[in-house]
Amino acid sequence: MDFRTPDIDWAALAPVLVLMGTSGFVLLVGVFLPRGARRGFGATFAALGLLAAAIVAGILFAQDETASLTLRESIWRDRLAEMAQILVCGAGLLAIGVSYWERRAPLDPGASEPPADEHERIIELYALLLAAVGGMAFFVQADNLMALFLGLEWFSIALYILTAISVHRLSSLEAGLKYLIVGSFGSAILLFGSAFVYGATGALEFRAIAEGSGDAERLFLVAGLALILVGLAFKMSAAPFHMWTPDVYQGAPTSITAFMAAATKVAALVLTLRLLTTAFPGEEDLWTWGLAGIACVSLLWGNLAALVQTDVKRLLAYSSVSHAGFLLMPLAAGNELGGRALLFYLVPYAAMSVGSFAIVAARERELRRPVTLENLGGFGWERPFLGVTMAVFMFGFIGLPPAGLFLGKFYAFAAAYERGWTWLVIVGVLGTVISIYYYLGVIASMYMRPAEARVAAAGGSPPRDWPLATTVFLSLVVTVGSLVAADPLIDLMRDAVASLTFPH
């Protein structure tokens, strides 16, 4: 049997390799360290690994003017993938700051104190975080249904474990189990769809699917496309495939929620953009309309469900569902403006997601219990920096300045309008109007509700949490910076989507 190893473009794999190498290094070396040193070691090397991967991806981004395929045409080396890698690495970096003092996480009502050993499982947390980012970095490069599935499972499994990593909390374990079951269901659907597409076209590689779709069995191709889209919609938590989102976001340790909310969306949406434009250009009338439908459902369902939430993490989870709708609008538009809009939107959105969950984490650690709209009372005046930043994020989610999402929303609407879908823009407007109520509710709780008698369980002011404050600050910088320096950012995004051909 003649077996030849394929030509491998190692540079294309470099970000993934850096991440996985660091992950292994952190895990193996961490075991030998004294327990007290593990936290600092893990966080430092995880941050260095993410930074290195982001820099490598950045260098590749600067070099790769044309897209190329490698590894037997199963992964891309192009600017779209590299931009997405930079974004997920950035989300991971920000999440490290939140996770550093995760031990001060809230208890379930009535649960006993966490184990005295606060350094438990911290090494695993960082190793898995790196593995998850590595999986996403691989996922966004995929040019092949098998590579796609591999990447998807790779980061999903890491996230399942991360969700359940606070083993002393029942809600974390429950969330992990839910995520595992529902997530596996989504993956299975995606795999099922991939099988249909393979059966119909005889190809796994994206461009070959596009070529083979001409004389493919129409029924199987369409069914496969639909099932794949459903599987991806699970990951981007678009309604009606979002059922896991509120439970998992609420139960997972808040630093993990912050990471998931930002990075999973980036990975899933970027891959969807590539898959649909590369593999299914002939079926664009199907998927543009399909995505527009999903966008509408997400906008309405996410926003309406968020109205009645009192737990802030659940509220933000539904807000994340609604933003899946906003993000799908430019994707559904299927034009080049939409590609730019999607990528631009992701930058402030990712920063704001991590930042807002980080602030929730800060309040949680102060109170030692889940944050609700009630016990957020007075937070804005007690912690001016965190309060003002949270207000900027909430106003930003609505689409008000000074957050970059102001422009992001503008671009998303502009893309849908250019497609001629004014109705979709109107649905977006409607969703935004509904969302005002609950985003303002968070601000009103922070500033306009008197502080409860004394909600903090532990006396005294909370210990300083510099890593978390740094994360919040950096998120704020990215959020506001993407409005001010929109021009260079949009140029980068234009380069990133230059290798794709859009149907409209």
Give whichever of 267 and 332 is closer to another protein, judged by the CB atom: 332
Give whichever of 90 and 404 is closer to another protein, judged by the CB atom: 404
Q: How far is the CB of 346 from another protein (least distance, A)?
A: 16
> Half-sphere exposure of residue 97, counting CA atoms within 13 Å on the CB side?
24
Q: How far is CA 65 from CA 62, 75, 77, 378, in A?
A: 7, 17, 10, 51
**Residues 322-361: x/- map of binding to another protein (CB under 8 A)?**
------------------x---------------------
Q: Which amino acid is at 201?
A: T
Q: Which of 418, 481, 502, 504 binds another protein (CB under 8 A)?
A: 418
Q: How far is the CB of 389 from another protein (least distance, A)?
A: 13
> Half-sphere exposure of residue 287, counting CA atoms within 13 Å on the CB side?
33
Q: How far is the CB of 490 from another protein (least distance, A)?
A: 5
**Listed ranges 175-183, 320-328, 394-402, 473-481: which one lies at the site for another protein (CB under 8 A):** 394-402
Q: Which of 410, 451, 481, 492 binds another protein (CB under 8 A)?
A: 410
Q: Which of 304, 494, 500, 503 binds another protein (CB under 8 A)?
A: 494
- Percentages helix, strand, coil for the chain (3-state, rounded to 5) are 75, 0, 25
Q: Got the DSSP string for 370-430?
A: --BTTTTTTHHHHSHHHHHHHHHHHHHHHT-TTSTHHHHHHHHHHHHHHTT-HHHHHHHHH
Give whichever of 433 and 458 is closer to another protein, judged by the CB atom: 433
Q: How far is the CB of 199 from another protein (least distance, A)?
A: 42
Query: What does the alpha-carbon distance between residue 14 and residue 274 come to, in Å, rounded to a whole number?
Result: 20
Beta-carbon count within 10 A of 467 CB = 18
Give whichever of 2 and 487 is closer to another protein, judged by the CB atom: 487
Ramachandran area for residue 420 (φ above 0: left; ψ -120 to 50: alpha; else beta): left
Q: Which of 20, 351, 398, 496 binds another protein (CB under 8 A)?
A: 398
Ramachandran area for residue 108 (φ above 0: left; ψ -120 to 50: alpha; else beta): beta
Give whichever of 323 and 340 is closer to another protein, judged by the CB atom: 340
Q: Does 132 bind another protein (CB under 8 A)?
A: no
Query: What does the alpha-carbon distance between residue 294 and residue 301 come to, in Å, rounded to a whole number?
Result: 10
Closest CA to 257 of 124, 379, 102, 152: 102
Query: What does the alpha-carbon distance between residue 406 and residue 428 come to, in Å, rounded to a whole number?
Result: 13
Query: What does the alpha-carbon distance between residue 347 and residue 262 come to, in Å, rounded to a whole number?
Result: 9
- Which tokens is 88 given? 């997920």
**Listed ranges 67-75, 122-130, 210-218, 411-419: which one lies at the site for another protein (CB under 8 A):** 411-419
68-97 residues near another protein, rule: CB under 8 A? none
**Residues 453-492: x/- map of binding to another protein (CB under 8 A)?**
---------------------------------xx--xx-
What are phi and psi for residue 372, nearest 5 degrees? -120, 175
Q: How far is the CB of 400 from another protein (least distance, A)?
A: 5
Give whichever of 440 and 456 is closer to another protein, judged by the CB atom: 440
Q: Which of 33, 173, 300, 400 binds another protein (CB under 8 A)?
A: 400
Q: Which of 81, 258, 390, 407 binds another protein (CB under 8 A)?
A: 407
Q: How many residues bind another protein (CB under 8 A)?
A: 35
Q: Which of 101, 155, 357, 406 binds another protein (CB under 8 A)?
A: 406
Give whichever of 185 and 473 is closer to another protein, judged by the CB atom: 473
Q: How far is the CB of 190 from another protein (least distance, A)?
A: 34
**Listed ranges 41-49, 57-65, 201-209, 392-400: which one lies at the site for another protein (CB under 8 A):** 392-400
- Is there a contact between 127 and 165 (Cβ–Cβ < 8 Å)? no
Give whichever of 129 and 398 is closer to another protein, judged by the CB atom: 398
- Is there a contact between 269 and 342 (Cβ–Cβ < 8 Å)? yes
Q: How far is the CB of 374 from another protein (least distance, A)?
A: 14
- Is there a contact between 386 and 470 (Cβ–Cβ < 8 Å)? no
Give whichever of 444 and 498 is closer to another protein, judged by the CB atom: 444
Closest CA to 160 of 260, 242, 287, 236: 260
Cα four-point dihedral sign 478, 483, 486, 492: positive
419-458 residues near another protein, rule: CB under 8 A? 422, 425-426, 429, 432-433, 436-437, 440, 443-444, 447-448
Beta bridge partners of 311: 372
**Listed ranges 49-57, 204-212, 391-399, 463-471: which one lies at the site for another protein (CB under 8 A):** 391-399
- Is there a contact between 344 and 408 (Cβ–Cβ < 8 Å)? yes
- b (16+ CB within 10 A) / e for 240-249: ebbebbbbbb
The residues of the shown chain that bind another protein, judged by CB under 8 A, are: 340, 381, 391, 395, 398-402, 406-407, 409-410, 413-414, 417-418, 422, 425-426, 429, 432-433, 436-437, 440, 443-444, 447-448, 486-487, 490-491, 494
